[in-house]
Amino acid sequence: MKYCWSLPKNDPWSTPFAETLLNYLEICRGDQILDIASGSGIPAFYLAEQVGPKGSVLAIDINQRQVLKSRSTQGNHLPWLRFEVGDMRFLPADLPKFDRITGNLSFMFFRPNRFDALQNLVRFLKPSGQIVLTFPSMGTFDSLWKYVDKEMSAQGFVNERKALDEYINERPSASEVEKYLKILGLEKIIVGEQPLEVATGSGIEFLEHPLLRGGFLDDIYECFQDQGLANTFMDKIAEKVSHFTPLYAIRCAMSGWKPNE
């Protein structure tokens, strides 16, 4: 059989995380899969092709634009794959149960109570079903956070430093998710981490870096009440990238199986 829906080769972020997810995931043709935080369809398209027409993939994302974009990419292909708008933290109770639940780059968005959201999600797993989620775990871009903290300290930014510390400590860690999976009674738990280097130049290339800007650098700007001050501070940081590169994200994958009741 010829497969057409492989992971995009030129994607330096979603694809490496999805590769880690697929290393942990065991799927068979005919499986019914729920893919959460599906975004532009990584890895929903790939999974749909793997499970074939006797299986199904329900891919949900909170962002309607992403869902419409994925539907447009899909066209008439893989009709057993459906993209729907939904919040993975509050799935409707009448949703069926699935053989597999996947979520690439998802777990960090389980805020504000990650355990409750995970517990709710696991309810939609059939007995003997597997859940595999990936996320950038604690340790991601630590060299950057350390440098920013040092600079904030040197410039006397007390409140901003406190906000940064809170942000850093709020991020999910591998040990936290392992604990959650155990409390939820899942079996054959594996939580693994692998570094992923993210290359960047200095100046505007750093400040507008497609991976760093949304979700990572924005979090530093949010530590400042005064956005003018944040801009001046970050412009200086951007000139010093050699002080905190190479930058590493930590690719974390968590996998667990629901016991056969």
Q: In what order do the strands lie in the sheet with 98-103?
A: 81-85, 56-61, 32-36, 98-103, 125-136, 247-257, 187-198
CB of 14 to ligand SAM, least distance (A): 3
Shortest CB 167 distance to ligand SAM, Å: 17
Cβ neighbours, 10 Å, residue 120: 16
Distance CA 134, CA 217 (A): 20
From the list 104-112, 144-152, 220-228, 241-249, the region that binds ligand SAM by CB under 6 A is 104-112
Asked whether position 255 contacts ligand SAM by CB under 6 A, the answer is: no
Interaction of residue 130 with ligand SAM, rule CB under 6 A: no
Q: Which of 89, 114, 209, 258 binds ligand SAM (CB under 6 A)?
A: 89
Beta-carbon contacts of 84 under 8 Å, excluding residues fewer than 6 positions away, are 58, 59, 60, 67
Torsion angle of the four alpha carbons 198, 164, 219, 19, in this order, in degrees rounded to the nearest 10: 40
Q: Say how many residues touch ligand SAM, by CB under 6 A.
A: 19
- Compare residues 116 and 226 and give the one whose CB is closer to ligand SAM: 116
Our finding on whether 105 is near ligand SAM (CB under 6 A) is yes
Does residue 109 belong to the site contacting ligand SAM (CB under 6 A)? yes
Does 87 help bind ligand SAM (rule: CB under 6 A)? yes
Q: How many residues does the chain have?
A: 261
Q: Could you say which residues in the range 38-67 bind ligand SAM, by CB under 6 A? A: 38-40, 42, 60-63, 66
Does position 172 interact with ligand SAM (CB under 6 A)? The reply is no
Task: Identify which range of 23-31, 81-89, 171-179, 232-240 contacts ligand SAM by CB under 6 A.
Answer: 81-89
Nearest 5°: CA angle at 192, between 128 and 52?
Answer: 45
Sign of the CA dihedral running 187, 188, 194, 198: negative
- Name the residue whose CB lies closest to ligand SAM: 39
Interacting span for ligand SAM (CB under 6 A) from 33-41, 47-55, 71-79, 155-163: 33-41
C-alpha torsion 155→157→163→167, nearest 10: 0
Which positions touch ligand SAM (CB under 6 A)? Answer: 14, 18, 36-40, 42, 60-63, 66, 87-89, 104-105, 109
